[in-house]
Amino acid sequence: MMSGNPTAMTIRRPGGAVRSPDGIASAPFWVEALLEGSAAGENAAMRATLDPGTITNWHTHPRGQLLYALSGIGRAQRDGGPVEEIRPGDAVWFAAGEKHWHGAAEDAPFSYFSIQATDGERFVDWLEPVELPR
């Protein structure tokens, strides 16, 4: 496990994925830390893979978040906005403090990179589960 951003070129090889913590999404998903920022302004980055229908809870990021879709079909919504479809190659920016969620389409898995700057050791504030209309 890293402590803060590396101070020199670093290569992280795949294979360190773990299940997400309970209570942050509709189901656990695979997450692999790529950068673990621990000081204000450092970057935290991860690769996530969600099974069909798995979505995160509502959440915010103190310094914003960039998602880059790798594979599958995703969905995202900002508070008060429409649910948007995300496809491979799409980049999605959520502004600092913007309440949002993201996840996999009902019938397809979804993988993405997530990059966000830390505010101290904090880079996300988890909120309530999403209630999608059925």
In tens, the pLDDT along 65-100 reads 999 999 999 999 999 999 999 999 999 999 999 999
Please report, as a single letter, which amino acid is at residue 21: P
Average pLDDT on 97-123 reads 94
In tens, the pLDDT along 24-63 reads 999 999 999 998 887 888 888 999 999 999 999 999 999 9
Q: Which residue has the higher pLDDT, 6 or 30?
A: 30
Q: Which residue has the higher pLDDT, 1 or 133?
A: 133
Determine the pLDDT at residue 41: 82
Residue pair 36/96 in contact (Cβ under 8 Å)? The answer is: no
Q: How confident is the model at residue 106 (pLDDT cuts 50, 70, 90)?
A: very high
Determine the pLDDT at residue 73: 99
Domains of the chain: which residue ranges? 18-118
Q: How confident is the model at residue 3 (pLDDT cuts 50, 70, 90)?
A: low
Above 90 in pLDDT, residue 133?
A: no
Q: How confident is the model at residue 134 (pLDDT cuts 50, 70, 90)?
A: low
Q: What CATH class is the domain 18-118?
A: mainly beta
* CA distance between the termini of the chain: 41
Residue pair 64/98 in contact (Cβ under 8 Å)? The answer is: yes
Residue pair 22/54 in contact (Cβ under 8 Å)? The answer is: no
SS3 sequence of the chain: CCCCCCCCCCCCCCCCCEECCCCCECCCCEEEEEECCCCCCCEEEEEEEECCCCEECCEECCCCEEEEEEEECEEEEECCCCCEEECCCCEEEECCCCCEEEEECCCCCEEEEEEEECECCECCEECCCCCCCC
